[in-house]
Amino acid sequence: MLRRRFGCSVQTIHSTAVETYFPLPTACLLSVLLVSAANGPAAAQIDAEEVSEATLLTLDVGEVSITANREPTALSQVGSAITVITREELEDQQIRHVSDILRQVPGVAVSSSGPDGSLTQVRIRGAEARHTLVLIDGVRVNDPTAIGAVYDFGNLLAEDVERIEVVRGPQSALYPSDAIGGVINIITRRGSGAPSVTASVEGGSYGTVQAASSVSGGTDLYDGRLGVTYFRTDGISAARQGTELDGYENLTVSGRAGLRPTDTLSFEATGRYLDADRDIDDGFTGSFVDDSLAIQRTQEFSGRLSGQLELMEGAWLHEVGVTVAGTDREIVDSTSPADYSARSYGADYQTSYLLETDALVDAAHRFTFAYEHVTEEGDFNSFGAPAVFETISANSFIGEYQLGLFDEVFLTASVRHDINSEFPDATTWRLTGAYLQPDLGTRVHASVGTGVKNPTLNDLYVDFPNFFYFANPNLVQEESFGFDIGIEQPLFDDRLVLGATYFDNDIENLFATQTNPNTFVSTIVNVPGESTRRGAELSSSFQATEDLMFEVAYTYTHAEAANGSRIVNVPRHTVSGSVSYSFLDGDANITATVVGEYDRLISFPTTSADDFTLVNLAGSYQVLENVELFARVENLLDQDYTLTPGFDQLGIGAYGGIRVRLGGD
């Protein structure tokens, strides 16, 4: 269930990031309370005088975005194309890896080099993997030492995730480099209510085991949650022609705490750490991948500390924050050993002011200004390359104006200027609009804007003279211009919602490796010309009964380089669907999902990938009030497919387990 209805009654919401008197659906309010302060300026509280306790208990957490405009906004008022994935959906489908649920998002393609834990990349609307900005609780976690600063989703488990927001299209006017294709914001779980302890354990095919435990609680004054997840699997051979099993092991610790000493002052701290080991196959014989004993060891961490202050009865809001993120990767027992270490340090400030002009026209105006500083450093020690330690930094200024007219028209204009230390400065902008037709419930949305992708430390400084490859310190940013326009139509008292969106994103100065045919020396360059990515996203959701929900999505993507050749790793057709049914008074649930990819080119060498259709089935039963049994079957049809030449994927697998909760409300 990746979409929710947007037909709701109107209430008022107060945000400690900005006083949001824009009309919001009733179902939006609890969501903002639960996910407050998740993305920098996003803390929120509800006016208790206006909302009854009974109303709070019925709110829908899928109706608000905190990513599209850097602060809580009703989905019905967002002009950008966005998908919100809730905790309920993750639990119904028993998602263990975040990348698995992202396959169901319109416009998103996932590729990986093997089974669980393997390098996994995500592309949005045909853009490159390096064009996807990934945030965890508002902290940019793209790896500065990875090629293209691509984030590896292979290590991202879903147990501590509360919700995921995917904003599609260029978002560089609001966010740092990498957002040419879009932004994926992962928001972790927080504590609430009486203290409680939750524990779960499961096992299944391929020697797979997962155990998780958490302690959480919260009051009006404070909240906190600490969770630990351990995952391991024997796996299969990552090399399609191999026989040696490539196992994977992951330990993830996640914590979150909030403090609200007064009605106008609040503090938030988030932190996340993981330690993962994966067996990798990096040997080659001709065009075949061979078994090897190589192991990649990875440690990742990220955190944010922020404070929020309200002035002028909440009309003037301030937030200040500091962030840190890091990745340490080591490849051992390999013919090409390597050791990489990356650190990113940031500081930010955002202020927003709300002005209402009801006396002149029924309108609300929100003015936002933000400043961000980030420093990235990377330590490279790789076979065939001299050791390198380098840093880059940027200072960014962001301005945004939001306008709400007559509770029907919602417009935004954003601009961002980046002052970069090692390459040219950049200015990006974005305009969005949404119109709600009050009688028919029709929603029209559109966005247009520009994006940039900065050269990485790898691109600028890391040479491999043994392989005749040299970095390019004169590289400039990739640039994009993109737009989309779409419509959503609810029918049958909002039980059926149909949506369609057309998108177009043109990218210039694309990075590519160029080889001199005479000297065989290679370097990364900006390719002249314009690369085009365009297509259409179709979606529908149908609440057949209170207990039965259907959803279907389809995306067509046409992606070609400046020379007219087709872009690899972008499936031309993707489909997804789900059916979820609750019974026995809600104590039991069954969810079936289908994901299909058709007509994809992969490399190296460039070849056509096999089409595939993955079917998963998950079910759970609440045996007692605090005890739940669950089971699932993945790849029910036992599809044999590959996403990267020479690397294999898992076949059919069955898993089951138990979850116990002690304490709580």
pLDDT value of position 335: 81
Q: Using CA of residue 146, residue 150, residue 152, residue 156, what is the dihedral sign?
A: positive
Cβ(382)–Cβ(74) below 8 Å: no
Evaluate if pTM is beyond 0.75. yes
pLDDT value of position 644: 86
pLDDT value of position 213: 97
Q: Where are the beta strands (DSSP E) in 143-264?
A: 161-168, 182-188, 196-204, 208-218, 222-233, 248-259
Choose which CATH entry (1.10.1370.40, 2.30.33.40, 2.40.170.20, 2.60.40.10) describes domain 10-663: 2.40.170.20
**What tokens does 363 get?**
């309108």
CA atoms within 13 A on the CB side of 161: 27
pLDDT value of position 35: 36
- Report the share of the chain in percent with pLDDT over 90: 78
- For 469, residues 6+ apart whose C-beta sits below 8 A from its C-beta are 463, 513, 521, 522, 523
pLDDT value of position 333: 84
- Closest among 108, 109, 63 to 84, alpha carbons compared: 63
Q: Where are the beta strands (DSSP E) in 474-567?
A: 478-491, 496-515, 522-543, 548-560
Amino acid making up residue 624:
L
pLDDT value of position 257: 97
- For 424, residues 6+ apart whose C-beta sits below 8 A from its C-beta are 476, 477
Cβ(592)–Cβ(619) below 8 Å: no
pLDDT value of position 357: 87
Residues of the chain with pLDDT under 50: 1-62
d(CA 175, CA 374) in angstroms, rounded, equals: 12
Helix (H, G, I), strand (E, B) or coil at 306: strand
- HEC readout, 124-146: ECCCCHHHEEEEECCEECCCCCC
Q: Which helix (H) or strand (E) holds 582?
A: strand 573-583
Helix (H, G, I), strand (E, B) or coil at 518: coil
Q: Which residue reads 């000493």 in tokens?
A: 261
- Strand 132-136 vs strand 182-188: parallel, antiparallel, or unpaired? parallel
Query: How long, in residues, is the chain?
Result: 665
- For 429, residues 6+ apart whose C-beta sits below 8 A from its C-beta are 173, 413, 414, 415, 416, 449, 450
d(CA 87, CA 159) in angstroms, rounded, equals: 9
Helix (H, G, I), strand (E, B) or coil at 171: coil
- Give burial (CB, 10 Å; 0-12/13-18/19+) of 146: buried
pLDDT value of position 281: 85
Compute how many other C-beta atoms are within 10 angstroms of the C-beta atom of residue 267.
16
d(CA 254, CA 38) in angstroms, rounded, equals: 14
Q: Which residue reads 């365009």 in tokens?
A: 534
pLDDT value of position 287: 61
pLDDT value of position 515: 94
Q: Which helix (H) or strand (E) holds 653?
A: strand 653-663
What are the residue ranges of helices labelled H in 324-367? none
Domain boundaries, the chain: 10-663
Compute how many other C-beta atoms are within 10 angstroms of the C-beta atom of residue 195.
13
